[in-house]
Amino acid sequence: MVVHTLISPKPQNTASTATLEVRGKDAVADGVVSLVLARPDGGRLPDWTPGSHIDLVLPEGITRQYSLCGDRWDPYTYRIAVLREPGGRGGSAYVHDRLAPGDLVDVGGPRGNFPLVPADRYVFVAGGIGITPLLPMIHQAELMGVAWQLLYGGRTRASMAFREELARTYGDRVHIVPQDECGLLDLASWLSVPDAGTKVYCCGPAPLLAAVERACSAWPAHSLRTERFAAAEQPAPARTAPFQVELRRTGTTVTVTPDLSVLQAARRAGADILSSCEQGTCGTCLTPVLEGVPDHRDTLLADHERAANDRMFPCVSRSRGDRLVLDL
C-alpha cells in the first residue's frame, strides 16, 4: 500500500521565520501542553489549512515541527500541542520545562503537507498526539457538512489530548478508545468495507499507521492519507558513490559523500535551508530540483510526484546519477 500524501504543486524552501509570543500554555493531557502563539504586535498571522504545521526554532539549533490544531479562521493566533518525549532530542523538554507565557520563539511556516481533500465522507483515525492535525480537519468537515467519524486511541484516557473538547463538541461521532480500558482500535470493523467515496486520514505512531495501511489494503488508490511521526524504513541508497550537487542560486557545487546528506553538504556550502525532522517526514526542507534524478527517500511524496523529479527532500533524499542541480 503506497502512502499518498500530496505536496504543494509549487515546491519551495524558505528559511524565513517570524518571532511569535507565547500567549498561553496549558496542560491538555498527561504529558501534553498546548501553546497559543501570536505576533507580539497583535497583527495577523499567515493563513493555513487543516493538516498544516509550523516549525518551532528553539535554542541550540533545535527545530521541531508541530501540527496546527487551533481554529484556522482565527487569523491572530496559532495553537499547537506538544507531547513530552523522554527519549527525544530536547525540543519537547524545552517546551514543557522552559518556554513560558510572554516568551518569544521563532516560528517557521506554516506549511501544508497533509491536505484535506474533498470526499463524501471521512474516517479520521488518531493515535495519541496524532489527534492534532485531525482537529482542524474535523472542524473543516463539519463546516462543509460532510459526514465524518473519529476513531481516537491512546494509552490511557488521561493521556488523550482534547478528548473532552471533542466529546463535548461532537458527541457520538467521536469514539474514544483508551488502550488500558478497551484494548487496541478495532480497525477491522471500521475499515473492512472499502468505500470509494470515503477518505481515511490517519496520524499516529508507526504501528498504528501500519495497521491502518493493512486494513485499507483493498481500498481504492488514494483512499488513505497518513502523517507519520517517524520515518518508514527505506531501501539502501540507489548509489553509494559520491555525487555532485550544484546549488544554482548559491553559485557553488558541492560533493556529497556517503556519510553526508545533501542537506548537510549544501549547508556547509552556505545554502540557507530550513529543516525540522531531518527524517523525510515533515516536508520542511522541500527543495526544487532543476536537473538530475533524485533518489527519493522521504515518506511524503506520492508516486506521481516522485516521478516528476522536480522536487526533493535533501535531508534524506540523494541522487541516482552523478549530478543534481538544486534551486538553492
Give whichever of 154 and 314 is closer to ligand FES, judged by the CB atom. 314
Question: CB of 66: closest distance to ligand FES in angstroms?
Answer: 13
User: Could you list the residues that contact ligand FES (CB under 6 A)?
Assistant: 275-278, 280-285, 298, 313, 315
Question: CB of 276: closest distance to ligand FES in angstroms?
Answer: 5
Question: CB of 232: closest distance to ligand FES in angstroms?
Answer: 13
Q: Is the peptide bond before 110 cis (omega within 30 degrees of 0)?
A: yes
Question: CB of 107: closest distance to ligand FES in angstroms?
Answer: 15
Question: CB of 140: closest distance to ligand FES in angstroms?
Answer: 24
* Cell triple for 181: 480500558
Which ranges constitute the DSSP H helices of the chain? Answer: 91-97, 131-144, 163-170, 179-182, 187-191, 206-215, 262-268, 303-308
Question: CB of 124: closest distance to ligand FES in angstroms?
Answer: 23
Q: Quote the Cα angle for 207-113-164, to 5°.
A: 60
Yes or no: say if 322 and 300 are a contact pair by the CB < 8 Å rule.
no
Question: CB of 212: closest distance to ligand FES in angstroms?
Answer: 21
Give whichever of 50 and 280 is closer to ligand FES, judged by the CB atom. 280
In angstroms, what CA-CA distances link 75 with 45, 47, 49, 51, 109?
Answer: 6, 7, 12, 16, 14
Give whichever of 38 and 315 is closer to ligand FES, judged by the CB atom. 315
Neighbouring CB atoms inside 10 A of 287's CB total: 25
Residues 6+ apart with CB under 8 A from 291: 246, 323, 324, 325
Beta bridge partners of 153: 127, 177
Give whichever of 277 and 326 is closer to ligand FES, judged by the CB atom. 277
Give whichever of 57 and 315 is closer to ligand FES, judged by the CB atom. 315
Give whichever of 106 and 195 is closer to ligand FES, judged by the CB atom. 106
Place of cell 542537506: 263
Give whichever of 81 and 316 is closer to ligand FES, judged by the CB atom. 316
**Rounded-to-integer distance, Cα 138 and Cα 150, Å:** 8
